Structure 1
Amino acid sequence: MRVFTAALATETNTFSPIAIDKRAFEASLHAGPGQHPATPTLCTAPITVGREICAREGWTLIEGSASWADPAGLVARATYEELRDTILDELRAALPVDGVVLGLHGAMVAQGYDDCEGDFLARVREIVGPEVLVCAELDPHSHLTARRVAAADFFVVFKEFPHTDFVDRARDLWALAVRTLKGEISPVMSVFDCRMIDVFPTSKEPMRSFVDGLMALEKSEPGVLSLSVIHGFMAGDVPEMGTKIIAVTDGQPEKGAALAERLGRELFAMRGTFMVRQVDEKVAVGTALAAPRGPVVIADVWDNPGGGTAGDATVILAELMARGAQDVAVGTIWDPIAVQICFAAGEGAEIPLRFGAKSAPMTGNPIDRIVTIRKLVRNAQMRFGDSFAPFGDAAWVHFDGIDVILNSTRAQSFDPSLFSALGIDPKSRKILLIKSTNHFYDSFSKIASEIVYCSAGKPYPNRPAETPYRKARRDIWPMVEDPWGA
């Protein structure tokens, strides 16, 4: 067998002011054929797992390019078309192939392209024809459009949020691909539209039990090959935004459709109960200061670069400063200019510095302080499960009992190693202020005495009923209370 694999991924917050060009992919991951490192990023695990599987099967794996950019705003049209066409040319050069196994995100939007993955998959299908297997791994925070469903044989989606299972799901994807290519199964996808948009952390109930139930059904229900939830991505203003269920069966589309609908209606019945309780910055800081011991983790859930925001909001930091908080470590605030100034000044320097709150309104005000530069690190990175996440050149600055990590490559706070990468011991601090909606939970919960979820400012459109969408559908919950009533 000859199998082609490649990856092209980012998550687009269409409301974000952070435009994306090729440099953003190069800063995160941009690897040519055969140059992908042994460790996968979030959406490139099909490549690294594919190496292992094809070696075991004695098959030929033809690797195309792999490109991943951290979530942000719209991708430049020329950048998307260049990255897309590079992979398509690599695929043409690899022909004939028996299968195409891709790593995608599912929420990429470019100038002129509301559905990048649909466009890409349709072109892949046109090149290989109707008989060749085409499948992909997706992030659940994506848009499942009719065009991409028509172009692919099946999708496998991360089940966990935080996405700790992206390698496991890549193994599931390849297991189905291998069985399909050997003629053992005939996968068919059934999709159910849940007519809703919500946030579904699997680190708490009720989503924890729902996902456990999906995995149990995959093992126990005859003919069911894979079950997935497309959570949807509420910051993507595209026509087919929303939550959907995918059921992949062995040639049983009617059974898949019935099962997808049953699961989708169960999910809809629990709408609005999934997200953890959030408090404002005053309550968050008060709770952290009153805690008997640390570290108390304050998660700035909506200034999350993993959702496409800048990651430079200062609302919670300003409240900590106003309350005289001490023994605080902040990781991170994105400010490439401030980082550049710090590198010019050098470690140990004491300088006046303005940082933060440059990207958008309602993210607070810039911080002005005399700071001491404690540590400078080139090309810093933190762990995220089996992979590493770069956060660029970084500076640790200190003032008034507070330590702040300034970074030059936007990245959410995945893991406490973001602090230790700069020489800060996160376990020794009373308060850790981080920026993430839920990906932080798996690692930070292991060291936190308490976790406080804080909704501060408005860097992210997190209330769909109030969001000024121009393209997204309005016939889903919570835009309407009962989308089934009509």
Structure 2
Amino acid sequence: MRVFTAALATETNTFSPIAIDKRAFEASLYARPGEHPATPTLCTAPITVGREVCAREGWTLIEGSASWADPAGLVARATFEELRDEILDQLRAAMPVDAVVLGLHGAMVAQGYDDPEGDLLSRVRDIVGPDVLVCAELDPHSHLTARRVAAANFFVVFKEFPHIDFVDRARDLWSIAVRALKGEIKPVMSVFDCRMIDVFPTSKQPMRGFVDKLYALEKSEPGLLSLSVIHGFMAGDVPELGTKIIAVTDNNPGKGAAFAETLGRELFDMRGTFMVKQVDEKVAVDAALAAPKGPVVIADVWDNPGGGTAGDATVILAELIARGVTDVAVGTVWDPIAVQICMAAGEGAEIPLRFGAKSAPHTGDPIDKLVTVRRLVRNAEMRFGESFAPFGDAVWISFDGIDVILNSTRAQSFDPSLFSVMGIEPTSRKILLIKSTNHFYDSFSKIAAEIVYCSAGKPYPNTPATTPYRKARRTIWPMVENPWA
């Protein structure tokens, strides 16, 4: 067997002012054929798992390029077309192949392309023809379009949010592909539109129980190969925005459709109950100060670079400063210019510095302080499950009993190693202020005395009922109360 694999991924917040070009991919991951490291990134696990599988089976794995950019705004048209065409040219050169196994995110939007992944998959199908297996792993915060479904044999989607299972789901993807290539099964995909958009953290009920049910059904139900929830990505203004269920069966589309609809309507009935309670910055600081011990993690949930925002909002930090709170560590505030200034000043320097709140309205005001530059780290990385997430050149500054990490590559706060790699022991601080919606939970919950979810400012379009969409359909909940009417 000859199998082609490649990856092209980012998550696009169409409301974000931060444009994406080739440099953004190079800053996060751009690996030419054979250059992908042994450790996978969030959307490239099909490549690293594929190496193991094909070595075991004695098959030939032809690797194409792998590209990942941290979430932001629209991808430049020329950048998408260059990266897409690079993979397509590699596929043409690899022909004939028996299968194409891709790592995608599913929420990319490029200038002139509402559905880049659908465009890529359709072109892949045109190259390989109707009989070659085409499949991909997707992030649940994606858009499942009719064009993608028509082009692929099947998708497997991360089940967990936080996405701690991206390697496990890549193994599921390859397991189904191997069985299909050996003629043991014929995977077919059924999709149900839940007619809603919501946020579904699996770190709490009711989504925890729902996902556990999916795992149980996959194990117990004959002929049911995979169940997935496409959560949707509410910051992506695209025509097919929304939550959907995917059921992959062994050549039984009727059974798959029935399972997908039953589960989809069950999910719809729980709409609006999934997210944890969020408080404003004043209540968040009150709660942290009242806690008997630390560290108390304040999660700035909507200034989340993982959702395409800048990660430079200062609303919560300003509240802490105004109230004279100390014993605080902040990770991170994105400000490449401030990082450059600190790098030039050097460790131990005391300098006046303005940082933060440069990217967009409703993110607070820049902070002006006399700061001490404590530590400089080039090409800093933190852990994220089995992978590493870069946050660029980074600086630890301190002032008035508060430590702040400034970073040059946007990244959400995945793991406490964000602090320790900079020389800050996170468990020694009373308050940790981080920027993430839910990916932080798996690791930070292990050290946190308490977690406070804070909705501060308006860096992210987090209320679909009032978000000024121009392309997204308005026939789903919560845009309408009853989309089934």
Structure-2-length-normalised TM-score: 1.00
Aligned to 2:114: 114
* 1:152-231 pair list within 5 angstroms: 152-231=152-231
Q: Does 1:4 align with 2:4?
A: yes
Corresponding residue SS for 2:225: strand
Tell me if 1:468 matches 2:468.
yes
Q: Which amino acid aligns with 1:44?
A: T
Separation in 2 of the partners of 1:164 and 1:222? 27
Deviation at 1:392, TM superposition (A): 0.1
Could you say which residue in structure 2 is the equivalent of 1:482? 482
Query: Which residue of 2 is the match for residue 433 of structure 1?
Result: 433
Equivalent residue number for residue 77 of structure 2: 77
- Corresponding residue for residue 313 of structure 1: 313
Alpha-carbon displacement from aligned partner over 1:330-376 (angstroms, at most 9, x marks no partner): 00000000000000000000000000000000000000000000000
For 1:324 and 1:450, locate their aligned partners in 2 and report how far apart those are by CA, in whole Å.
Answer: 21
Query: Hey, what does 1:370 align to over in structure 2?
Result: 370
- Aligned partners of 1:426 and 1:34: how far apart in 2? 37
Cα drift, residue 178 of structure 1 = 0.1
2:270 paired with 1:264 = no
Same amino acid, percent of matched pairs: 87
Quick check: 359-368 or 285-294, which moved more?
A: 285-294
Whole-angstrom distance in 2 between the partners of 1:353 and 1:289: 27
Q: Which residue of 1 aligns with 2:346?
A: 346
In the alignment, what sits opposite 2:15? 15
Following the alignment from structure 2 to structure 1, what is the Cα–Cα distance between the partners of residues 289 and 379? 33
Following superposition, the deviation at residue 34 of structure 1 comes to 0.3
**Is 1:34 aligned to residue 37 of structure 2?**
no
Q: Secondary structure at the match of 2:313?
A: coil
In the alignment, the residues of structure 2 paired with residue 322 and residue 459 of structure 1 have an alpha-carbon distance, to the nearest angstrom, of 21
Post-superposition offset of 1:188: 0.5
In structure 1, how many angstroms separate the alpha carbons of the residues matched to 2:251 and 2:5? 25
For 1:134 and 1:469, locate their aligned partners in 2 and report how far apart those are by CA, in whole Å. 32
Deviation at 1:174, TM superposition (A): 0.1
The alignment partner of 1:88 has SS state of: helix
Aligned partner of 1:295 in structure 2 is: 295
Question: Equivalents in 2 of 1:223, 1:58: separation in Å?
Answer: 27
- CA displacement 1:32-53 (0-9 Å, x = unmatched): 0000000000000000000000
- The equivalent of 2:254 in structure 1 is 254
Partner residue in 2 for 1:409: 409
| Counterpart in the other structure of 2:148 | 148
Runs (5+) with no aligned partner, structure 2 = none
What is aligned with 2:103? 103
Residue by residue over 1:219-252, the C-alpha shift from the partner in whole angstroms, topping out at 9 and shown as x without a partner, is 1011100000000000000000000000000000
Q: Distance in 2 between matches of 1:253 and 1:170?
A: 23
Name the structure 2 match of 1:136: 136
CA distance in 2, matches of 1:382, 1:187: 37
Q: Specify the alignment match of 1:442 in structure 2.
A: 442
Name the SS of the counterpart of 2:120 in structure 1: helix
CA distance in 1, matches of 2:92, 2:48: 21
Number of the residue aligned with 1:234: 234
1:171 aligned partner, one-letter code: R
Secondary structure of the corresponding residue to residue 34 of structure 1: coil
Amino acid paired to 1:272: G
Distance 1:319 1:481 in 2: 36
Matched with 1:63 is 63
What is the alpha-carbon distance in structure 1 between the residues aligned to residue 235 and residue 320 of structure 2?
28
2:283 maps to which residue?
Answer: 283
- In structure 1, distance between residues paired with 2:34 and 2:379: 23
User: In 2, Cα distance between the equivalents of 1:421 and 1:307?
Assistant: 24
Return the offset for 1:290.
1.0
List gaps (5 residues or longer) in structure 1.
Answer: none
How many Å apart are 1:432 and its aligned residue? 0.1
Deviation string 1:172-206 (CA, Å, 9 cap, x unpaired) is 00000000000000000000000000000000000
In structure 1, C-alpha distance between the alignment counterparts of 2:121 and 2:96, rounded to whole Å: 17
Distance 1:66 1:129 in 2: 23
Task: Tell me the amino acid that sits aligned with residue 18 of structure 2.
Answer: I
In structure 2, distance between residues paired with 1:222 and 1:195: 28
Q: Which runs of 4+ in 1 moved over 3 A?
A: none
Distance 2:147 2:106 in 1: 12
Letter in 2 for 1:466: T
Structure 1 residues 137-190: Cα deviation after superposition (integer angstroms, max 9, x where no partner):
000000000000000000000000000000000000000000000000000000
2:327 is aligned to: 327
Does the residue aligned with 1:131 lie in a helix, a strand or coil?
coil
SS in 2 for 1:257: helix
Structure 1 CA distance, aligned partners of 2:368 and 2:289? 23
Once residues 53 and 121 of structure 1 are traced to their aligned partners in structure 2, the CA distance between those partners, rounded to angstroms, is: 23
In 2: Cα distance, 1:213 partner to 1:105 partner: 24
- Return the letter of the residue paired with 1:52: E
Partner SS state of residue 303, structure 2: coil
> Following the alignment from structure 1 to structure 2, what is the Cα–Cα distance between the partners of residues 484 and 84?
38
